[in-house]
A and B are shown apart, each in its own frame.
Chain A
């Protein structure tokens, strides 16, 4: 390390300044959640912390039920998407046809359809199928929503696997299923994991379908937020408290899993 001391100090200061700047909105939100409504509009740092806003939010809504729905639906949607995407990405990567590339891009482009354009068709489908306000319904829609990205990411990971390894397996008479299960999955596990993590985060934060397709039973945390945004009267502190509660689980989860996320990405598309 020939870097001068000055250089290292500058790096450290810039690094921390940038980090704190990016984190500031979240930090401020957490801080505001401990204020009273009156202090919240004053945006000063001198205040007595209080849990009153949390108390009020918890008294009004059953946080645990919303949080549980969020967990179930995000995990369910991710698992289902992976179940569909693994074989599809497999066949695209190892048995490509002339149309594979076009199909893949077309799939990605459907993801660019604004959900507001398809709300009612989906609503009608769900009504007929009895899927409104059900976790299964949300799981289905989340899986559908994330499939293009999941397939594409897995595809890039599979592309990295030398065909020889699979060839060798095939020689040994491995069937397609066991080829995927015993050879491909272990090889690409970090990639699959990071794809899953990404999908999980996207599901957790999805706010359009969850708001429109659920009522009381299957509503996840994004709906919980919608009952605290812009009501009558002062609401900054309550909103901050509710937001903190909605964001905290995924944030902590994200912090712990980011290494995994990064490890997978190194393996595949990004390398």
Chain B
């Protein structure tokens, strides 16, 4: 205790000194943890301009791949170690962490930040008890990508609102394995944020859900069976080889190099597939909404990468300056100026979608905006559910559960198990985990 008091005195002194020194603020260095996705790499490059505008703030970057980053920042924030001042986190983490009091609320934002310009569904997903706990850097829903040239060749036309049934028929027709063209690419790599993101939205579309109101897992229900049978069948007949190792990135590479006929995945891929530098099919990409199943209007897909400030940060003001800069309208304009409108971080601001420049540079813009607006992450599944989230269940246990069930379901693709076996295994494994975690609660 004595030691802590002394430190307190020193801090007090320091505070007095800094106040007496007037406006001359001490330089601060903030550490930013972020994912190695393209948009964040651009942010890191452009941050030199932020440092110019704020000569008293220095930035240190920790750029890691998604899974490593998540483990890293979660350990840090949960142990209140304070290694990071800005963290890049998903809309899965924000409400869970806010509930624990680990994040700084983002209130008192300046009027110029135009918080109302942030898309409402995205904003809502980051709100806990009426306060924002993270600012969105980019956001995505999901849609269907298809190759217009292959559709033309096969004499097919993509409807405005395709159903899963129709999609299946298209996939069968355009698959041409001799030329390494596979009718349908979907995520197969096990992981709660990989195959289970897609599978969860597919299950929702077929009228299923993860848990019933008593928190009992509902994986052994007909809705799941219908969804997984569809998923497994279409990938086995029309999917690329190696589907069990394909996550978002792998599929993006496959589609971009001309190996996929269709692909249902995150809207953020639109900008990348449309970029001639990264995609050999840039002029042959068509877009359609996510297919629908037997239950329409339920939750589909909403993900955002957000910048948040941990409560353990010692440089909150500097961190806040950076976070508001990187998620501002000005930042979006800056990216547009440097890299072109098609490369701006999508899905966060109405003003982006109102911009005529963006609309002409990104023909998929309308689809994305619409998909985000109907993503409905807090909406109802066919049966009532006790949790929120679109392509995930917003409870801390979901990472482990999703990954375990994801592994089991990947087993149906490689023929290691049948759909029935897999669902039975997944059901009992999830029951186990939920029991261990102390459910049902409350």
Contact = CB atoms under 8 A, between A and B. Distances in A.
Q: Do chains A and B touch in the complex (CB under 8 A)?
A: yes
Interface of A: 37-38, 41, 59-61, 119-120, 123-124, 127, 132-133, 211-212, 215-217, 219, 223, 226-235
A230 B272 CA distance: 15
Nearest to A223: B64
Contact of B248 (A132, A133, A227, A232): A232
Interface string B66-82: 10100110010001110
Interface string B267-299: 010001000001010000000000000000000
A256 to B, nearest CB: 32
A233 to B, nearest CB: 5
Nearest to A235: B249
Given A226-B68, A231-B65, 14 more contacts: A38-B280, A59-B45, A132-B83, A133-B83, A215-B31, A215-B62, A216-B31, A216-B60, A216-B61, A219-B62, A223-B64, A226-B64, A227-B36, A233-B249
A232 B252 contact: yes
A223 B45 CA distance: 19
Nearest to A231: B36
B237 interface: no
B122 to A, nearest CB: 19
B79 A127 contact: yes
Contacts of A132: 81, 83
Contacts of B268: 232
Contacts of A233: 38, 249, 252-253, 256, 272, 278
Contact of A215 (B36, B83, B249): B83
Contacts of B35: 231
Contacts of A41: 253, 257
Contacts, number: 84
A60 B41 contact: yes
A235 B252 CA distance: 11
Contacts of A124: 79
Contacts of A127: 79-81
Contacts of B257: 41, 234
Contacts of A215: 31, 33, 60, 62, 72, 83-84
A4 B272 CA distance: 62
Specify the main secondary structure of chain B where it touches its partner.
Answer: mixed
Nearest 9 CB-CB pairings of A with B: A216-B60, A227-B63, A231-B36, A127-B81, A215-B83, A232-B37, A215-B62, A227-B36, A226-B64
Contacts of B373: none
B44 interface: yes
Nearest to A37: B278
B46 to A, nearest CB: 12
Interface in B189-227: none
Nearest to B61: A216
Interface in B7-47: 31, 33, 35-38, 41, 44-45
Nearest to B69: A226
A123 B79 contact: yes
Contacts of A59: 45
A212 B61 CA distance: 15
B253 A234 contact: yes
Contacts of B62: 215-216, 219, 223
Interface residues of B, number: 36
B249 A232 contact: yes
B429 to A, nearest CB: 19
Given A127-B79, A133-B83, A234 B278 contact: yes
B102 to A, nearest CB: 15
B79 A232 contact: no
A111 B437 CA distance: 30
Contacts of B280: 38
B249 A231 contact: yes
B278 A123 contact: no
Most buried by A among B35, B41, B71: B41
Nearest to B40: A231
A164 to B, nearest CB: 54
Most buried by A among B31, B60, B75, B280: B75
21 contacts: A41-B253, A60-B41, A60-B44, A61-B63, A123-B75, A123-B81, A127-B79, A133-B83, A211-B64, A215-B33, A216-B31, A223-B62, A226-B68, A227-B63, A227-B64, A229-B36, A231-B37, A233-B253, A234-B253, A234-B278, A235-B249
B272 A226 contact: no
B270 to A, nearest CB: 12
Contact of A120 (B68, B75, B248): B75
A60 B42 CA distance: 10
Nearest to B269: A232
Contacts of B44: 60
Contacts of B60: 215-217
Contacts of A119: 75
Contacts of A123: 75, 79, 81
A228 B84 contact: no
B252 A227 contact: no
Most buried by A among B44, B64, B252, B268: B64
Contact of B72 (A211, A228, A235): A211
Contacts of A38: 280
Contacts of B79: 120, 123-124, 127
Contacts of A235: 249
A39 to B, nearest CB: 11
Contacts of A60: 41, 44-45, 63
Contacts of A61: 63
Contacts of B75: 119-120, 123, 212
A160 to B, nearest CB: 43
A41 B253 CA distance: 9
